Amino acid sequence: MTSVTTNLQDGPAPVNALEVRGLVKHYPGVKALDGVDLVVRQNEVLGLAGENGAGKSTLLKALVGLVRPDAGEIWVRGEKVKLRSVVDAADHGIGMVFQEQSLVPNLTAAENIVLGSEGAGVRRGIYRWDTMRKLAQEQLDKIGSHIDPLARTDSLSFADRQMVEIAKVLRIEERTSNPPVIILDEPTSVLESAEIETLFTQVRRLREFASVVFVSHRLDEVLDVCDRVSVLRGGQSVGEVPTAGAEPADLHRMMIGSTGSDDHYHEGLAEHSDEPARPRLVVKSMSGSTFRDVDLEVRAGEIVGIVGVHGSGREDVCRALFGAEPTLSGEVTLDGEKLDLSGTRGAVASGVGYVPAERKIEGMVGPMSVADNMMLTKQKARCTGPMVVPKKQATLVDQWIERLSIRTPHRGTQIGRLSGGNQQKVVLARWLVAGDIRLLLLDHPTRGLDIGARSEVYRLMRELANSGVATVLLADSLEEAIGMSDRIIVMNDGRATKEVSCPSGGKPTPLDLVKEMV
C-alpha cells in the first residue's frame, strides 16, 4: 500500500470544509506542532491517527479555539479565520466532543446540551423547563439515547455522560447556517458495542450534511467509519491514506515508522510459578449497592479480568476493593489478613493500588508536577525520618521516568502537559515507587492510549505479575481482557456468574464471553 503525503496546491479547487496550513505550537521544552497540514473535505469523515504525543490533542484544541498557534493558518470553507475561543469556533460551525468530557457536573443533562444556545429554552432569564427538555430530547433522540434530560449530570455513568457530550455538540446544527465540522475525540473509549454502533450510525448520518474529524486509538474503528486517515508523528504530518483496502498495520507503520508486533499482549513474558498455593486476595460474599454476593480469588502473580456489560457492577466491585465504594456485607482478606475497606487510606497502607478509569478526574492533579503526582501516595519513600529529602525524591522519580520511558521535559513539568499515555505511566508509577504493592486494581488502564503506549502498559503489567503482584483488570475491550488475563470473571446484573480460564494457547473468544454477559 502506498501512502500519499498531503500537498496543498494553488489554483482552482473545490472549497474544503476545513484546512490547516503549516500550524506550529511550542510549549516549554516541547514542539507540539511542527508545521502541520490538514485538509477536511465537504461531507467526509476524516480519521486522525498518531501515537500519544504526536500532536493530535494540540491540533484539535487549536481547531476549537482552546489553543492559539504560534504560526500557520486555519481556513474554514475558503475563509482564513482566527479562532480565539470555543464560542468563536462554534460560530464558524466547528464543534468538538472532548475525550476528557467538558460537562458541568451539577447541571442537568438538558442544561449541558443547550448550554450557550438555549434559545427558546430561556425567557427573561428564567429557564422554561418543558422547552429545555424538548430541545435536549431532540438531540438525544438522534443518537438513540434514553437518558432523562432532567437528570443531574454527575448522577450519570461515564458512558451516559459521553452520550450527553455527543448530543451537546450536535446542537451546532441549529447554531450555524453553514455545513458544520464535528470533531469527535475518542468518542467510543467508554461505550459498549451497541452504543458504538449507534454512534457510527450517527457519524454516517452526519456525513450527509457535515464534515467529521474522527479520532480514535482503535485503528479498526478508524478504518471502519472514515473515508481517509491523516497521520501525525512527532508533531508533523507524515501522510494520509484512503481507508478502502487499508489495514491497522498500515496505519501503525506510519504512526511509529515501523511495523507493529502482533504479539502486543506479551504472553511470552508470563512466568507463573506453582509456589503460591494460597490465593493472595480472597473475596467472600461481598455486597454493595450495585453488586451482591461476589466471590473472587486472585493469586500472587496472577492477572484476573472482570468483564460485563454497562451496569453489571464490575466497576463498583473494583472501587470497593480499594475502599472507595461502600460495602454492605462480606469479607475480604489479603494474604490471610482482613482488609480494611472503610476508606482508601487503609487499602493503601495494606499495599493495594488503584488506577481509576477517569484518569484526569481521579488519577492525577493536573497543575502539579510529574514528581509530585508520582509521590502522592508514597510520601515516606522520599523522606528520611520526618523530613522530605529533595535529592532522594529526584533520584527516585528520575529512575521511574527512565524505567517506564515517560516522555517529559523534566520531572518538574506539569503532568497536565503530558500526553495521555505518559500521564497514565506516571499514575502507574505512583504505586510502584515504594516497592510494597501487593494488589493492583486496574480500571481501564489503556483507555485513550495508542497502540504503542498500550503495549508498554501491557509489558509493565506482565513484569509486575512476574514479580508477584496480584492484579485485577477491568479491560478496555474483550480482546484485551482475553489477551492479558489468566482467568476471567463474568459479571451479570451485579453478580459474578461465570469463571473462564484463559490459558496460553487455549484462550476463549469474545463471543464465548458475550454469551455469558447478556
Q: pLDDT of the chain along its 518 residues, tens only?
A: 444 444 544 545 578 999 999 999 987 667 889 999 999 999 999 999 987 778 898 999 999 999 999 999 999 999 999 999 988 898 888 988 877 667 888 899 998 988 877 777 777 777 788 888 888 998 888 777 889 999 999 898 777 887 888 888 878 777 677 788 999 988 887 677 777 887 788 788 778 888 999 998 888 889 999 999 999 988 899 999 999 989 888 888 888 775 444 456 766 444 555 554 579 999 999 999 999 999 999 999 999 999 987 778 999 999 999 999 999 999 999 999 999 988 998 999 999 999 998 887 888 888 899 998 998 876 665 666 666 667 878 888 998 898 888 888 889 999 988 877 788 889 988 888 877 899 999 998 887 777 777 888 898 899 889 989 999 999 988 888 999 999 999 998 899 999 999 988 888 988 888 888 86
pLDDT at residue 66, as a whole number? 93
Q: Which amino acid is at 441?
A: L
CA atoms of 242 and 229, how far apart (whole Å): 6
Instruction: Give the CA-trace dihedral at 216, 219, 225, 230, to 10 degrees.
Output: 80
* Domain residue ranges in the chain: 18-256, 267-351+437-517, 367-436
Q: In the CATH scheme, what architecture does the domain 267-351+437-517 have?
A: 3-Layer(aba) Sandwich (3.40)
- Measuring CA to CA, which residue among 397, 354, 360 is closest to residue 375? 397
Domain 18-256 sits in CATH at 3.40.50.300
Q: Write down the pLDDT at residue 450.
A: 72
The Cα–Cα gap between 61 and 165 comes to: 16
Q: How far is CA 435 from CA 25, 400, 439, 492, in A?
A: 39, 12, 12, 35
CA nearest neighbour of 40 among 119, 98, 110, 93: 93
The residues near 514 (Cβ < 8 Å, ≥ 6 apart) are: 478
What pLDDT was estimated at residue 305?
Answer: 96
Establish whether domains 18-256 and 267-351+437-517 are of one fold.
Answer: yes
Quick one: the chain helix, strand, coil %, rounded to 5?
A: 35, 25, 40
